[in-house]
Chain A
Amino acid sequence: MSKENTMIRTLAILLLAMTPTAALAQRLPPLRPEPLRDPAPAPAPEAAPEPPTTPAPATPAPPAPDGTGGAPGDLGAASPAGERPPGDEREPGGEDTEPARSALFDYPAPDGGPSRAASAGEPSASQPTQPAQGLLFAPTARMLEAGAISASGAIDTVGGAQLELKVGLGGVAEFGIGSTDHIRARDCATCDARIVRLVPMARFVMGLPEHRLFPHQPALAIGFQKSFTRKHDARSSRYAMLYLVASKRLGSTNLHGGALIWDGVIQRDDDSEVNLHDEPLAKRIRPTAGFEVLARKRSHVIVDLTWNPELQIARELANTDSLRLRPMLSWGVRYAAARRVALEAGVRVPDIGDANLLDAQIFAQLRVASRAITTALEGLQGS
């Protein structure tokens, strides 16, 4: 089977995993509404003085009359009542009046029981929230709340810096822009690798929260990250990563695991190119994993593993550059300093295959979240 067919099949499987079918939509409660959004009542078409654009269907309205988004109220009105996730013990009818919070503001209780945020719908000082659940550097399936913004900045002991600003879209997607310092370059086979600073990138992730399709289903996300063209070492480089991850909360522990596929293009000034996608898929697909454990009331211990490309530069024009993936291991602590502020610090080893602790970096990271857009949207809807 060709490499291209393998990719197409992989993508098809990923998308099928993400896409509830029409049959599922009818049989299961997978499309049950997330209770955090749209507290505003659905506009009743018959209440409008204008005749509706389309006649009301004779049977109970499907969730998406036109499938193009339509009026949010229409979609919300179609949500089947009485369908609840496992363990949801809220009173019937309460989901629209007391919006719960998504993973952004939800936080497992120190004793591993249900979070107060999940049960009360609001974070509190005794149950601190954090700007984003997730690992230190590896991707997870946790999504930001609709309209929520998360910003993070990290520095390390080798002068690297990483920035990211992301926004939650509908509770099922995120869009982010930022820069990364995880791409490294090596001037010769025996030389030490150095970071390529501030590679600008954008990221788009789609995902489903836990228990959406079936009980105990882990959160799932498919993400795509791509860098803008970065000029360095008399070369232009671009990188892209596609990943599928699953996240599952077990008591006070969050487990994350998945796979990622990297691609990269290095173009010299003489227009010669080296492409990572020319390599077999087996050389570009790698596992990623990690966990968070709530060790103290406000503190998580986090360990994660991910992979990043490393460019080996050929100094002689007659030789070609090469791109290889290197495993990066990170461990550290996240401390929820305030409701929407978290501090992280730890150690990362950019290439654990190198087994060189002198290469390890100590980093510090600040994460800040804001619900300003969410609040503004709720205000505009008159909720």
Chain B
Amino acid sequence: MRRPDASWEDVFRGPFEVSQLFAMPTANVVGAYQLRLYGDASLLSERDVLSTSSVAALGFGDLAQLEYRQSAAVSHRVRTHRELFGLPSLGVQFELPLRERRYVPRFGVALRFGLPYGQRGESLDGATTRPSYDERATDLYLVASLPLPGVALHLGTRITAASLESTGTASALELERTLVLPALGVAVVVNPRSTLILEASMIPRFELPIDSAPAAIRSDPYARAGVRWNALPWLTVDASVGYHLELQHKREPPTSGIDALVDWDIRLGGELAVPWGAVLCRTTGVFCS
């Protein structure tokens, strides 16, 4: 709706493409001249820790989007804390320009360059008791999305070069590992404005050296189920229940299985679509179609 005489109602009516489930990117990309901002948070994933994640995606030509993304990861940095956090990256995702056919999936490919996520160290009387670490993950992400009547299936694979390195200490630690992290998502329309979403994926886990336990990079399953409510064409509200299962119980405190309900969390998020091209056209007359 990039017309100078368009009403604000028309400008924000859409349609707007959504390019991800809760955390899993789909094969769709944000539309041209549009920006999408997504964020969610939980106060319940770990004790006294606010866990957040966010995505900002800028669409180009209906085939690509530039994005800043915080992908889910887990850091085990002190004995009693496992922190679910968003690992930042800058990237670009393309939707393959294939002719659309019924029962034929769409495909997307993304390349994301990992930005360092700093885990601050601790010092006592000038002596370092725990060094600082940078965690980072660079991804090649492949995804297929198959829309069916009333339901859509998404299958993706994230090939991640994950690294963990200490900063500012003499005893340097550099650890790298390539992980293959599959992801699966299902979206079911339950009414005209609401979608039930189930997704499960493997996410990287960074284990910092604690006491005698060495550093390690592993992967764990992470699943979420919840509802996306399209409150307005340009505003969606997400709420979901999530669970991170630690596969290898190598560390203290010993982790429990899926029956440990206290380890589940509730996340609340929202996504805002900004039709910046249409807004600029309406206000200044540029970027009009």
- In-complex Cβ contact of B232 among A19, A51, A380 (8 A): A380
Mask, A156-170, CB within 8 Å of B = 1, is 000000000000011
- The reply to whether B239 and A19 form a contact with Cβ atoms under 8 Å apart is no
A224: which of B47, B186, B241 is its contact (CB, 8 Å)?
B241
* A19 and B192 form a contact (CB under 8 A): no
For the A-B complex, the count of residue pairs with Cβ-Cβ distances under 8 Å equals 261
- Whether A64 and B16, one on each chain, are in contact in the complex, defined by CB atoms closer than 8 angstroms, is no
Minimum CB–CB distance for B44 against chain A, Å: 5
Q: Does A107 reach chain B (CB closer than 8 Å)?
A: no
- Neighbouring A residues of B256 by C-beta, 8 Å: 275, 277
Enumerate chain A residues within 8 angstroms of B80, measured Cβ to Cβ. 271
Q: Does A50 contact B (CB under 8 A)?
A: yes
Task: Name the distance in Å between B157's Cβ and chain A's nearest Cβ.
Answer: 18
What mask results when residues 1 to 14 of chain A are scored 1 for a CB within 8 Å of chain B, else 0?
00110011001000
Known interface pairs A202-B266, A229-B47. Does A53 touch B148 (Cβ–Cβ under 8 Å)?
no
A73's partner among B9, B14, B152 (CB-CB below 8 A) is B14
Flag B59-102 by CB within 8 Å of A: 1 or 0 each. Answer: 00010000000000000000010000000000000000000101
Q: Is B187 an interface residue (CB 8 A)?
A: yes
Q: Is B226's beta carbon under 8 Å from chain A?
A: yes
A6's nearest neighbour on chain B, judged by CB, is: B259
Which single member of A50, A170, A224 contacts B32 (CB below 8 Å)? A50
Stretch among B18-26, B120-128, B130-138 lining the A interface: B18-26
Task: Report the nearest B residue to A265, measured CB to CB.
Answer: B262
B102 x A49 contact (CB < 8 A):
no
Question: Judging by beta carbons under 8 Å apart, are A206 and B227 in contact?
Answer: yes
**Closest chain B residue to A10, Cβ basis:** B259
Pair B232/A377 contact, Cβ less than 8 Å: yes
Q: Is A350 an interface position by the 8 A CB rule?
A: no
**Does A43 interact with chain B (Cβ within 8 Å)?**
yes
The reply on B165 being an interface residue by CB < 8 A is no
Distance, CA A29 to CA B194, complexed state (A): 16
* Cα separation A204 to B238 with both chains bound (whole Å): 11
Among A25, A238, A241, A381, contact of B149 (Cβ-Cβ < 8 Å): A25
Bound CA–CA A128/B226 (angstroms): 33
| Given A54-B100, A69-B228, A173-B194, A226-B26 contact (CB < 8 Å) | no
B215 within 8 A of A: no
Return the CB mask of B136-151 against A: 1 if under 8 Å, else 0: 0000000001011111
* A72 contacts B193, C-beta separation under 8 Å: yes
Does B1 lie within 8 Å of A48, measured CB to CB? yes
Interface size on A, residues (CB 8 A): 86
Contacts A7-B258, A15-B225, A273-B253; A171 near B15 (Cβ below 8 A): no
CA gap between A273 and B254 in the complex, in Å: 11
- Establish whether residues B266 and A224, one from each chain, have CB atoms under 8 Å apart when the complex forms: yes
- Residues from chain B with a CB closer than 8 A to the CB of A137 are none
Indicate whether A34 reaches chain B with its CB closer than 8 angstroms.
Answer: yes
Q: How far is the CA of A271 from the CA of B81 in the complex (A)?
A: 13
Interchain nearest-CB distance for A46 vs B (Å)? 11
Report how far A342 CA is from B163 CA in the complex, Å.
Answer: 57
Query: Does B31 lie at the interface of the complex (its beta carbon under 8 Å from any beta carbon of A)?
Result: yes
Partner of A63, one of B1, B15, B150, B289: B150
Find the A residue at minimum CB distance from B17: A53
Q: Does B214 contact A (CB under 8 A)?
A: no
- A49, A170, A224, A271: which contacts B264 (Cβ < 8 A)? A224
Q: B232 near A63 (CB under 8 angstroms)?
A: no
- Which of A74-82, A118-126, A355-363 lies at the binding interface? A74-82
Complex Cα–Cα for A146 and B253 (A): 41
Contact between A239 and B193, CB atoms less than 8 A apart: no
For B231, what are the chain A residues with a Cβ–Cβ distance below 8 Å? 146-147, 170, 377
A75 and B198 CA atoms in complex are apart in Å by 18
Contacts A49-B289, A50-B2, A204-B239; is A75 near B192 (CB within 8 Å)? Answer: yes
Say yes or no: is B265 at the interface (Cβ < 8 Å to chain A).
yes
Q: Chain A residues near B152 (CB, 8 Å)?
A: 64-68
Known interface pairs A4-B258, A173-B239, A226-B261. Does A37 touch B150 (Cβ–Cβ under 8 Å)?
A: no
The 22 listed contacts between A and B (C-beta, < 8 Å) are A4-B257, A25-B151, A31-B150, A38-B193, A51-B62, A62-B147, A63-B149, A64-B151, A66-B17, A71-B16, A71-B230, A169-B227, A170-B191, A170-B227, A170-B229, A173-B226, A202-B43, A202-B266, A239-B262, A261-B261, A263-B260, A277-B261
Which residues of B come within 8 Å of A, CB atoms? Answer: 1-3, 9, 13-21, 26, 28, 31-32, 43-44, 47-48, 62, 80, 100, 102, 145, 147-154, 186-196, 198, 225-233, 236-237, 239-241, 253, 256-262, 264-266, 268, 289
Q: Which 7 A-B pairs have the closest CB atoms?
A: A67-B152, A25-B150, A170-B194, A67-B187, A170-B229, A71-B15, A76-B192
